[in-house]
Each structure stands twice: as C-alpha cells, then as structure tokens.
Structure 1
Amino acid sequence: MHELFIYGTLMPGLRLQAEMQGAERLGTARVPGRLVDVGRYPGFLHGDGQVSGEVYRVSEAQLAHLDEVEEMVPGDRAASQYWRERVTVQEGVLAGQQVWTYVYNLPVDGLTPIAHGDYRRYIREVGRES
C-alpha cells in the first residue's frame, strides 16, 4: 500500500473523483510547494508556500492506474505530463511523513499561480466548474 497526496481534480466532488474509487481517505494535509492553473486542473510545483489537499492510501494497482490518469510514463520523465515524487507532509494527517504526489512536469511560463495553494478555493474564486 502507498500513501498519496492529492490536491486537484482527483479530490471528492471534483471532476476526476471517480478515479479514486477504492482508495482509503486518511485525511487532510498540507505539503510544501505551490500550484499553478494549467487549465482544467492544477499543477503542483516544488517551491515556497504550502499546498492543501488530502492523503489517501492506495494499492499498487491503484497507483499504476493513477499514473496513467496523470499521464506519467514510468521510466520516461521527458514523456510525462506529471511525475510522481515524494513530498513530506507539513501539517495534518501523517505530518512529518513522506507521501507520493504528482508534480507538474511541463513548462509553466505564462501559467497563473494559485498563490494560496488551495485548488477548491481557487475554482470557487474564479467561478470555474471542477
């Protein structure tokens, strides 16, 4: 089993929530990093700030499926839209522990920063449907 931090459209109530079916929700968390608006979803980047989201426990098979959903090509970072990496939870469930998350792996020039790091709040603020 693996612990996975999600911060965007995979969260409950958002567009890709069905992709998390069968995963065990452990609770809310914040990790170091920042978000950008990629269009229909956010992109997580390493950097100053904190990103809000949720941690789930997923099986090896679920993680492999989510790699496909996130357009991660195992063993080929250059061909991947997102790359799965470890981050350390700063606040919330599993604080101090490392969990997987998906880091945006394409150029970010011209993308709008989501300064507060909370994608749910951001889509409410800009009036976007999830």
Structure 2
Amino acid sequence: MRIIVYGTLRRKQGNSHWMTNGQWLGDHLIDGYELFSLGHYPGVVEGTGQVYCEVYRIDASTLGELDALRSKGGEYKRQLLQTPYGSAWLYVYQRSVAGRQRIESGDWLKRDAVSE
C-alpha cells in the first residue's frame, strides 16, 4: 500500500521516523487541496490549490500506526487518491480551518517563506 505525506512525516521533518520502514517512491503535487498550518503540523482540506507531497510504499503495520496517530479524536480521515505511483492514502483534515493560516505555496517546508 502507499501513503501520501505532506508535512511532518516528510523527509528530514520531525515525524519522518514513522517512514523509516517505508520506501520513498517520489514527489507529487496533488490538485484540488489546500494546506493549512495547525501550529506545529499541517492539515490538508479539499479546495482550489495544489499541495506538494511525498509518496511512500508502506506495510500494514505502519499504516495502522499512522492511523492511530492521525485519526485520534477524529482530526483526520484517510482518502484514497490516484498518484503516478498508484493509488495512495491521504490524511485529510476534518475540522474547521477558519482562522488558520493557509500555506499559499502548498509546501510545508516553505511555510515560513514570505510572499512578495
């Protein structure tokens, strides 16, 4: 199975250790979504933008661990999307993003960049 990651699970980010047993397949831009800062981590919601992601092949055990991490309290829900690497799961944020900062670039790693 495959998973799409867009924030702290990406390479060299704070939670990238969760991907240690995964196989990085490549980078990908997903259309029709927007990225928001939720503080120390991001959330993706359906919208009009693009979000920069990484796609990994993972095993069922890793998916179960990520489900426990991401689905706790109903904060995220998994959604299956098509990627150049095959279908992959994306964790979509389920709560309101009202008042949250939209990351216009769609890239969590560029969230502090100033738009000119």
Q: TM-score, normalising length from structure 1?
A: 0.81
Q: Which residue of 2 aligns with 1:85?
A: 79
Cα distance in 1, alignment partners of residues 57 and 51 from structure 2? 19
CA deviation after TM superposition for structure 1 residue 88, in Å: 2.9
Structure 2 letter corresponding to 1:41: Y
Provide structure 1 residue ranges, at least 5 long, that are not aligned to the other structure: 74-78
Q: Does 1:15 align with 2:39?
A: no
Q: How many residues align?
A: 113
RMSD (Å) for aligned C-alpha atoms: 1.4
Contact 1:31 1:88 in 2 (8 A): no
Report matched runs for 1:38-49 at 5 Å. 38-49=38-49
Provide structure 2 residue ranges, at least 5 long, that are not aligned to the other structure: none
Q: Which residue of 1 aligns with 2:51?
A: 51
Q: TM-score, normalising length from structure 2?
A: 0.90
Structure 1 letter corresponding to 2:3: L
Identical amino acids, percent of aligned pairs: 31
Give 2:111's match in structure 1, choosing from 94, 99, 122.
Answer: 122
Cα distance in 2, alignment partners of residues 87 and 44 from structure 1? 13
User: Following TM superposition, where does structure 1 have runs of at least 4 consecutive aligned residues deviating by more than 6 angstroms?
Assistant: none
Q: Tell me the SS of whatever aligns to 1:26.
A: strand
